[in-house]
A and B are shown apart, each in its own frame.
Chain A
Amino acid sequence: MAEQVITEELRACIGMQSEPTVIEIEKVMIKRFAEAIEDPNPLWQDEEYARNARYGGIVAPPGFLMTLMMRGPAMELPFELPFTRRLDGGGDWEYFKPIRPGDVLTVVTKLVDVREREGRMGTMVLLVSETTWKNQRNELVAKSCGTSIRY
């Protein structure tokens, strides 16, 4: 059985912030997303339709940000955790502005909490991080908070 999993060293990482990652939003990314979840809403893909709709053009569906998590800044710890397996524990997303193709997002992630839990798979460490998404006009478009489970 693992001894103390949350070491002082790990606890000291709370508050650590990633370098910003820049992501250019392209139409294809949105299209792939809509295709992957099989969401036929024309607002995400049909220029003609979207031009006459509320936003005056294609926007990314709110769930789209979830596909950018892997591209966004990884919360790299300065040392290896004694776990190689990981699961996605879920998260919160808060949306402030629509995201359009052509937007350039700057994304920063911060480690906000570290927790330990005994689960079916043995001892698990939960890394909770908060991510802010800003567009090229420095507007906050979304905030998210996710839990990565390592076991």
Chain B
Amino acid sequence: MPKQLYYEDVEVGTELPLLIKKPTPQQLVKWAGASDDYYEIHYDKDFAQSTGLPGTIVHGRLKSSFLVQLLTDWTGDGGTVKKISVQHRGMDFPGEQITCRGTVTKKYVEGDEHIVECEIWTENPKGEKTAPGSAIVALPSRE
């Protein structure tokens, strides 16, 4: 279980612990089953190529979900993800590593909530950001 993170533990610039994924074709099929997204570009190479793609690609929402896990792993049970925003900008391919990263961009207290804003993104093996985004989380405070 993830360790609890507190508001006081983070500063602007703090990096989130990396979350590394390497989705296999099987993971994409599991995602299809979990999400009811049965579009063939995610599991049928011929079909994917017939639509002009180089091969099967990773579901955008699976990557978004990885980014949410990046956050929940980091904040622990006591944290709350309030908002996330992700753009699916580049494609990722099954069998290739997806590195989920983030850095803290802002922290402030709003009412009784301790808010932390982050930049989050997925990175392909070439270091390109394939799904950039941002997030707002609330953390417990030690005070």
Contact = CB atoms under 8 A, between A and B. Distances in A.
Q: Do A and B associate with each other?
A: yes
A92 B84 contact: yes
B86 A61 contact: no
Given A39-B69, A61-B69, A90-B131, A121 B52 contact: yes
Contact of A41 (B2, B34, B60, B89): B2
Contact of A66 (B2, B64, B71, B73): B64
B77 A53 contact: yes
Identify the interface centre among B21, B62, B77, B78: most chain A CB within 10 Å of its CB: B77
B109 interface: no
Nearest to B66: A37
Contacts of A89: 60, 87-88
Classify the secondary structure of A's interface with B.
Answer: mixed
Nearest to B61: A66
Interface string B64-78: 111111011100011
A118 interface: no
Nearest to A28: B34
A61 B62 contact: no
A47 interface: no
Interface string A86-126: 11111111110000000000000000000000000100000
B60 A88 contact: yes
B5 to A, nearest CB: 13
A41 B72 contact: yes
A35 B81 CA distance: 20
Contact of A36 (B35, B39, B52): B35
Classify the secondary structure of B's interface with A.
Answer: mixed
Given A36-B27, A36-B30, A66 B83 contact: no
A67 B32 CA distance: 9
A36 B34 contact: yes
B16 to A, nearest CB: 15
B81 A62 contact: yes
B1 A49 contact: yes
Given A39-B69, A67-B35, A88 B88 contact: yes
A41 B2 CA distance: 7
B1 A37 contact: no
A95 B71 CA distance: 14
B33 to A, nearest CB: 6
A36 B61 CA distance: 12
Interface in A6-52: 29, 32-33, 35-39, 41-43, 49
23 contacts: A32-B33, A33-B35, A36-B27, A36-B31, A42-B1, A61-B69, A63-B65, A63-B67, A66-B64, A67-B31, A67-B61, A69-B35, A71-B36, A85-B51, A86-B39, A87-B88, A88-B88, A89-B87, A89-B88, A90-B85, A91-B64, A91-B86, A95-B82
